[in-house]
Structure 1
Amino acid sequence: MANDQATSAENPQRPYVLGIETSCDETAAAIVSADKRVLAHRVLSQIDDHAEFGGVVPEIAARQHISHLDKLLESLMKDAGLGFDDMDAVAATTGPGLVGGLMVGVMTAKAISAATGKPFIAVNHLAGHALTVRLVDDISFPYLLLLVSGGHCQILSVTGVGAFTRLGTTIDDAAGEAFDKTAKLLGLGYPGGPAVEAAAREGDPKRFRLPKPMVGKPGCNFSFSGLKTAVRRLAEECAEGEGILTIRDRNDICAAFQQALGDCLIDRLKNAIQLFRETAGNGNFPLVVAGGVAANAHLRGRIEALADKEGLRFSAPPLALCTDNGAMIAWAGLERFREDPAINDADEAPRPRWPLDDAAKPMVGKGKKGAKA
């Protein structure tokens, strides 16, 4: 540990951490330094491989990770002008996610760890999203986090690198899942989030009225299943005459959907802000939004406006770091490494389910693979 401290004192850029992300359909890796620089960053998207299926096919995703990760890492090291021996630690997403993809990333990271003698750090994918804002902004603990992605929708109190308390979560579908299913229903293709956002920009959000589940109720939990069902029924009604949706109908439905989902997020966040103020005893804290859905400009703008109204500092990662990427995994690993330079998670296995707040009661049951998020 003394050697690590001496190294950091001599070179403020150290430690260097390699991060590998293979939890879903992006093969990604990055190298991050202690002075918050992303030394190299590579992401290989699999959108074209899954587009014809309207969603991610786990077996295809895993095979693509196997086919491309080695070459991607080789290119990454050339970009940075570094070798694996120059790393101080190797981090990989160990859960939650698709187990086939997780295995590829974890096994690769452990192989590099074993070959170089550098510690392996198991990173929770959600922690990667949650801590990214500290890589790109001067954000200190505690802060209130809205984590919205394809598989997760949670509001969390973040009081430390590994200290997360869940204030609210979805009781059914995640916000990103609702976007993807709406896009598929309306024939907008995959990925659904950007497609719905683009259509909504051309639509009238006031033409149709859609339900806003949980709005006005106490607590911070979400529900989007009813909203998704209402979109399906509305699309069927609009298509009754000629049997197809017009471009105008489709755009207006997207605009109404995006507006309704945004209303749900804002209502739940208002409750969370009040709760956080009561429990944290601090009225001035950052409001952070992270995850793939945070790339939606409309939703991002509404959340920023709420923060301004509440007198809170708003912060969010740049759009490129909202979706799955290796930099967020490298940074989460670096945060843990700085807290415990003797860390080594060599015995950790991939975890398809891995809630950030292990003490929180699962909202949608649990199974053999562990508690659902």
Structure 2
Amino acid sequence: MDKDITILAIESSCDETSAAVVVNGRKVLSNIISSQIAVHTKFGGVVPEVASRKHIEVISQVVDKALKEAEVSFKDIDAIGVTYGPGLVGALLVGVQYAKGLAYSLGKPLIGVNHIEGHISANFIQYKDLKPPFVCLVVSGGHTFIVYMKDYGKFEVMGQTRDDAAGEAYDKVARAIGLGYPGGPKIDKLSKSGNENAIKFPRANFHEESLDFSFSGLKSAVLNYLNKMEMKKEEINRADVAASFQKAVVDFLVANAMKACSIKKVDKIAIAGGVASNSALRKAMIEAGKRKDIQVLFPELVLCTDNAAMIGSAAYFEYIKGAISPLDFNAVPNLKLGER
């Protein structure tokens, strides 16, 4: 396509309201994020109804700021992309309805984007020359997948969690050891002063061919350890608990990700999602990649968490395929990767 395509993208799947202007799926002119972390921290996690209200309060301001920072107007926009799933249904609906109104009033094409596809596409922003095929490990508060990206918009899910997502397990363990919300960054920080080999926590063991994950057993093992220590009135070293838990999660993620690369015979693996910002995961993946001669790719930190730039990237690749959404499409909270 000769003409530059400028996408205005909107993301509201959970507790970040974001809008971005992205050109040709790889160049970010603006990426505005309004976080609700401070609001939800006092509740110990995301409260869906509160999240929806906060999205309604700020979405117009966030979009206006994205356009202003990008130095464009609505007439410069070729299409509007919006996350329509998976996520919290109320939160998704705020973004979807707002995007529909814009698309209708401006006469612009509307592109519904899968949130997971957005996370994967963050790597196209970070690495301008990156092209499929490659393996991607998507790890966040709500999702844990190993995906083989055959081509733009074409995915094969090779493994996924059977219960808790990795980020969800982080939040629950953080709450149990008194760190609060959000758990991922706090456990990562505390782990640096702990001994990761102090406590042997279990890893789920599926049959050899499976690349699936399970973190509920690990979470339960941590809770059982804490309860036993309290019953015996023994001092709990929170840093050791955090480090040992994190090692169990990271070992599991890295092992399955490297198996996936071997199966598909690819020499590139991209990491995506909020947990992709975890320092232990980054270090372990890079070390494993060096041993196996596999290039490990990470987006910058702002592109790991929920943001609209990644949605703009994914929307571009859908747009050039002609995958335009009808104005009567709806939010799909349990949307599967590859579905439309």
TM-score bucket of the superposed structures, by smaller chain: over 0.9
Give the match for residue 157 of structure 1: 148
1:29/1:35 Cα in 2 relative to 1: closer, same or farther (>3 Å)?
closer
Are residue 208 (structure 1) and residue 199 (structure 2) matched?
yes
Give the structure 2 partner of residue 343 of structure 1. 324
Q: Distance in 1 between matches of 2:57 and 2:25?
A: 33
Which of 253, 258, 269 in structure 2 is aligned with 1:270? Answer: 258
Q: What's the counterpart of residue 285 of structure 1?
A: 267
TM-score by length of 2: 0.95
CA contact (8 A) 1:141 1:158 kept: yes
**Helix, strand or coil at the partner of 2:162:** coil
Distance 1:315 1:346 in 2: 36
Could you say which residue in structure 2 is the equivalent of 1:45? 35
Normalised by the size of structure 1, how large is the TM-score? Answer: 0.87
Using a 3 Å threshold, how does the CA distance of structure 1 residues 216 and 35 change in structure 2: closer, same or farther?
closer
> How many corresponding residue pairs?
339
8 Å contact kept, 2:121–2:311: no
Q: What does residue 226 of structure 2 align with? A: 235
Correspondent of 2:281 among 299, 305, 316 = 299
Q: Identical aligned pairs, as a percentage?
A: 39
Could you tell me how far apart the structure 2 residues matched to 1:35 and 1:125 are?
15
Structure 1 residue 356 corresponds to structure 2 residue 308? no
Tell me the equivalent position of 2:136: 145
For 1:239 and 1:205, the matched residues in 2 are separated by 21
Residue aligning to 1:167: 158
> Which residue type is aligned with residue 330 of structure 2?
A
Q: Does 1:63 align with 2:63?
A: no
Q: Does the CA-based 8 Å contact 1:21-1:105 persist in structure 2? A: yes
| In structure 1, C-alpha distance between the alignment counterparts of 2:250 and 2:125, rounded to whole Å | 27
Q: CA deviation at 1:178?
A: 0.6
> SS state of the match for residue 197, structure 2?
coil
Deviation of 1:161 after TM superposition, in Å, equals: 2.0
Q: What is the DSSP-based 3-state SS (H/G/I as helix, E as strand, rest coil) of the residue aligned with 1:306?
A: helix
**Consecutive unaligned residues in structure 2, runs of 5 or more:** none
Contact (CA 8 Å) 1:168, 1:220: kept in 2 or not? yes
Distance 1:155 1:180 in 2: 21
Q: Secondary structure at the match of 1:61?
A: helix
Alpha-carbon contact 2:261-2:268 (below 8 Å) kept: no
- In the TM superposition, residue 285 of structure 1 has moved relative to its aligned partner by 3.1
**By how many angstroms is 1:356 displaced?**
0.6
1:364 maps to what in 2?
A: none
Q: Displacement, 1:217?
A: 3.6
Distance between the aligned counterparts of 1:345 and 1:286, measured in 2?
A: 35
Deviation per CA, 1:258-315, whole angstroms, max 9, x where unpaired?
A: 01111111222232222212xxxxxx43111111110001111111221222112211
SS in 1 for 2:320: helix
